[in-house]
């Protein structure tokens, strides 16, 4: 019996190990997140680092967010028009573009773009600082690396990404508008009226909430992987890769949870 069970047990163990490792990593990230939240509320505060993080996370992400949103909005208008034709519902393009962008695509795409641009750069920067002993130097200079590096970045992510999502939503809707009015023959005034009339405050608020959560996740994970990177160039590369993958997955998982909570009923 034991001989029969041995390969099954081994297979289950092989499956279980990565699951346990992932859960352990998630637990460590959660603790790291809780520690960050505690530090956000306690001085000292590093205004200059916060301003620099605002610039990097927010302002410098605008081009990539804008371009992503405008093309997605345009593509969405084409898809809805083509799909809608199958049951004579082409007229719903403005409404579906608006709700699709604001509720779902805007926050998710901005979140993923932030994961690609900001999470990776944060992870690589902090990992390089670790490899070159700059984190140790911070400690010897009586500066807590979590306060100096993590808190400003996470706070900037939490505050900037909702704004980016809002801007992305507007640009995405404008992308749909340009395609619909320029290519599909929609009347510009009625397109805008339909969009504005259809959207509800709850849609916009949910979009901004998602943005804040995704911003928190993206920046936190970048910092976490940077602080826990391995040695040398390989360590920096591993931290960056792991940070982007984890942030992307966690953003998508958080999106599902938030959508269930906000619109599930």
Partner 1 sequence: MITLSGVHKTFGPNAVLRGVDLTIDRGTSMVVIGGSGTGKSVLLKSILGLVTPDKGVIALDGQDVRKAEREAFLARFGMLFQGGALFDSLKVWENVAFRLMRGPLARPKDEARETAIEKLRRVGLKPAVADLVPAELSGGMQKRVGLARAIAAEPEIIFFDEPTTGLDPIMSGVINELIREIVVEMGATAMTITHDMSSVRAIADNVAMLHGGVIQWTGPVAEMDAAKDPYLQQFIHGRSDGPIESVR
DSSP symbol at 265: -
| Cβ nearer to partner 1, comparing 49 with 104 | 49
- Confirm if 99 and 59 have CB atoms less than 8 A apart: no
Compute the CA torsion angle 251, 255, 256, 258 (nearest 10 deg).
130
| Cβ nearer to partner 1, comparing 45 with 71 | 45
| Cβ nearer to partner 1, comparing 56 with 194 | 56
CB atoms within 10 A of CB 17: 10
* Minimum gap (Å) between residue 158 Cβ and partner 1: 22
Burial grade of 233 (CB within 10 A; 0-12, 13-18, 19 or more): exposed
* Minimum gap (Å) between residue 180 Cβ and partner 1: 45
Residue 50's nearest CA partner among 164, 122, 157 is 157
Residues at the site binding partner 1, with contacts judged by CB under 8 A: 44, 52, 129, 132-134, 136-137, 139-143
* Minimum gap (Å) between residue 141 Cβ and partner 1: 5
Distance CA(203)–CA(107), nearest Å, equals: 11
* Minimum gap (Å) between residue 229 Cβ and partner 1: 16
| Cβ nearer to partner 1, comparing 139 with 202 | 139
């Amino acid at each position: 019996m034991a001989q029969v069970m041995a390969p099954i047990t081994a297979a289950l163990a092989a499956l279980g190990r990565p699951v346990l490792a992932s859960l352990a990593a998630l637990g460590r990230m959660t603790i790291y997140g809780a520690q960050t939240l505690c530090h956000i509320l306690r001085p000292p505060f590093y205004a200059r680092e916060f301003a620099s993080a605002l610039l990097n996370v927010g302002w410098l992400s605008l081009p990539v967010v804008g371009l992503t949103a405008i093309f997605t909005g345009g593509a969405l208008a084409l898809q809805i028009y083509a799909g809608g034709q199958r049951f004579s519902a082409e007229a719903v393009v403005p409404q579906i573009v608006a709700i699709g962008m604001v509720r779902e695509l805007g926050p998710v795409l901005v979140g993923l773009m932030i994961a690609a641009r900001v999470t990776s750069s944060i992870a690589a920067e902090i990992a390089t600082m670790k490899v070159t002993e700059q984190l140790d130097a911070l400690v010897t200079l009586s500066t807590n690396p979590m306060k100096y590096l993590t808190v400003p970045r996470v706070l900037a992510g939490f505050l900037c990404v909702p704004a980016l999502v809002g801007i992305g939503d507007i640009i995405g809707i404008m992308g749909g508008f340009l395609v619909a009015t320029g290519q599909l023959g929609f009347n510009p005034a009625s397109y805008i009226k339909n969009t504005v009339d259809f959207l509800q405050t709850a849609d916009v608020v949910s979009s901004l909430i998602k943005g804040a959560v995704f911003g928190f996740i993206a920046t936190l994970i970048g910092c976490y992987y940077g602080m826990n990177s391995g040695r040398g160039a390989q360590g920096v590369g591993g931290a960056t890769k792991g940070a982007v993958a984890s942030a992307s997955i966690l953003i998508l998982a958080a999106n599902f949870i938030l959508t269930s909570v906000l619109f599930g009923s």
